[in-house]
Amino acid sequence: MKTSETKNHSLAKCRNEMKLKLPSLSVNEAIARAAVAVFCSQADPTPSELADIKCAVSEAVTNCIVHAYRETVGTIYITVKLFEDGLVRIEIKDKGCGIEDVDTARQPLYTTDAANERSGMGFTVMESFCDKVRVFSGCKKGTTVTLFKYLKGRE
């Protein structure tokens, strides 16, 4: 793992923080992705690093919209923290239905979509674009996905 968590990250100072709260409407996926990208831009990431962040955020927010609240509209809570050591920590939280079995849900191609309109690759995509992904969930208690991305930045 290449995150700064392995380099005593707990000692790194938070440089800046953003909190965002949005209704779980599909139009807000693009807003969440753009807002997080603009906020992270102050760390001078490479275009590739920024694209990774945008893609991972898009997947996490889409999971809230499609799975957490299903037939209703709820709230998506996003917190982004930039640390002095280059770590970006993005927390995407919902108070929706939760995930019954997180380990199973993280398996490639697993989906709860009965209509088979979803690929079941959301967590796999997040994991491929981030250094670390944590998922905490409880049935009827919601889900928190935390994305960790260490930025090398432009050199």
CB 40 within 8 A of CB 100: no
Is residue 121 within 8 A of residue 68, CB to CB? The reply is no
From the list 28, 33, 49, 59, the catalytic residue is 59
118 a catalytic residue: yes
Does residue 63 have an active-site annotation?
yes
**What gap in Å lies between CA 47 and CA 38, rounded to an integer?**
12
Q: Helices marked H in 3-121 — which ranges?
A: 27-40, 47-63, 102-105
Helix (H) or strand (E) holding 127: helix 122-129
28 is catalytic: no
Catalytic residue among 63, 91, 134, 154: 63
Query: How many whole angstroms separate alpha carbon 146 and alpha carbon 132?
Result: 8
Residue 127: both structure tokens together: 């994991």
Rounded to an integer, what distance in angstroms lies between the CA atom of residue 97 and that of residue 95? Answer: 7
For the annotated catalytic residues, the residue numbers are 59, 63, 118
